Structure 1
């Protein structure tokens, strides 16, 4: 699915950051979708990042008039300490439906890729390095200089939106793949990640536009 002008503009803004939308899919059978009560789940061993992510996304939904619940608020710490069976997950899903939930947003890290690049810019070696001596002198740092290469990690993540509505088929609504490159500030990465998700959801008519506060007090409550 090709992003439209609004999404393209936002991606250009994020191009200087380390959060990039790689692939985006929306269920073609759904023109639009509005959640009434959504459970936000961040699957990561980093508890602080999980809480930060779920809280910011909860605020985004709240500012759009949607009731959102963080998984860290709903489940105790023991929930993530052992694997769950199909029956256990079915029981959890049925309880969520009884409690009024109709949507789950599940975000997780699906892989980490370590990369290494040469720190210097590419040059035309056909003309610039004409002798063995020149070539060797220029690149001998390979043997002993740890700064010769720049090493970094790319975290591959996926964010999926599921309908668990009791009156219709429970199905995948949308899925987006996002890469996080060489994260330095977890706080800034989470903020960029949440902004990107909400812009894409709004673009795909899967979340309502933000409700502007009518008073200063309302504005402070949202912030």
Structure 2
């Protein structure tokens, strides 16, 4: 997990808004391969859903793994109303009939508003010899509404489920991700997908790392 965290920093150093909070893999799984995957993005934002599912599907296709967007399987009527346990079981049975062996399911599980103090240049050194100086420098905490930066944190989760024939339909991997104050939805989706791909590569789940020597390239 420590190695994975370091790699996350290296790959996503240009975007500090996405963080892998939890990375769980079934203890019964060493290596997991899939040959046909359904990509599901659960959100009411149709544009974001299409963007995510399309780009995520391309990541599988680049690796010669067949994948399909849920947009191409679930019609508008299906997602516009609550479904029963039996109806979802029927969907899994249909997927098995069509030779799917895995589902990659991504959803936003919640969000919250947070505040942080705005940083001042004087806080870089931030050592005050007298109470007077410290008080005068920061007294506007009392009355300035804009002294705080307010931002949103979205909590997302991506899970990989096996729906293989003759095997128990089980959770293979789950990653919990925090997205802080996304400004550009397209870039956020791109960075989110990079994070998921990297996490799966590190766990030997579907995706495989390039085993070339990182220094020589051989």
* Shared fold (TM-score, shorter chain, > 0.5): yes
- Give the SS at the match of 2:165: coil
Q: Aligned pair 1:163/2:162, yes or no?
A: yes
Identify the residue that residue 130 of structure 1 maps to in structure 2: 131
**5+ residue gaps in structure 1?**
212-223
* Alpha-carbon distance, 1:167 to partner: 1.2
Pick the aligned partner of 2:9 from 8, 11, 16: 11
CA distance in 2, matches of 1:80, 1:3: 39
Give CA deviations for 1:106-149 in whole Å, capped at 9, x if unaligned.
Answer: 01111101100110255798845523x96267333642x44211
Q: Which runs of 5+ in 2 are unaligned?
A: 211-218
Q: What corresponds to 1:215 in structure 2?
A: none
Q: What is the TM-score of this pair, normalised by structure 2? A: 0.86
Task: Show the counterpart of 1:65.
Answer: 64
Structure 2 vs 1, CA of residues 99 and 119 (structure 1 numbering), >3 Å: closer, same or farther? Answer: same
RMSD after superposition: 2.3
User: 3-state DSSP class of the match of 2:131?
Assistant: coil
Q: Which runs of 4+ in 1 moved over 3 A?
A: 121-129, 208-211
Q: Is the Cα–Cα contact under 8 Å of residues 197 and 207 in structure 2 kept in the other structure?
A: no
Q: Distance in 2 between matches of 1:83 and 1:41?
A: 16
Aligned length: 207
Matching of residues 20-169 of structure 1 within 5 Å: 20-121=19-120, 127=128, 130-131=131-132, 135=135, 138-140=138-140, 142-143=142-143, 145-169=144-168
Quote the residue 1:217 is aligned against.
Answer: none
| 2:171 counterpart residue number | 172
The answer to whether the 8 A contact 2:107-2:158 is kept is yes
List per-residue Cα deviations over 1:176-195 (Å, max 9, x = no partner): 01110000000000000001
State the Cα deviation string for residues 159-209 of structure 1 (Å, max 9, x = none): 000001121111000000111000000000000000110111111111234
Q: Is the 8 A contact 1:20 1:179 kept in 2?
A: yes
* TM-score of the superposed pair, with normalisation by structure 1: 0.84
* Alpha carbons 1:64, 1:210 under 8 Å: kept: no
Q: 3-state SS of the aligned residue for 1:92?
A: helix
| C-alpha distance in 2 between matches for 1:12 and 1:208 | 19
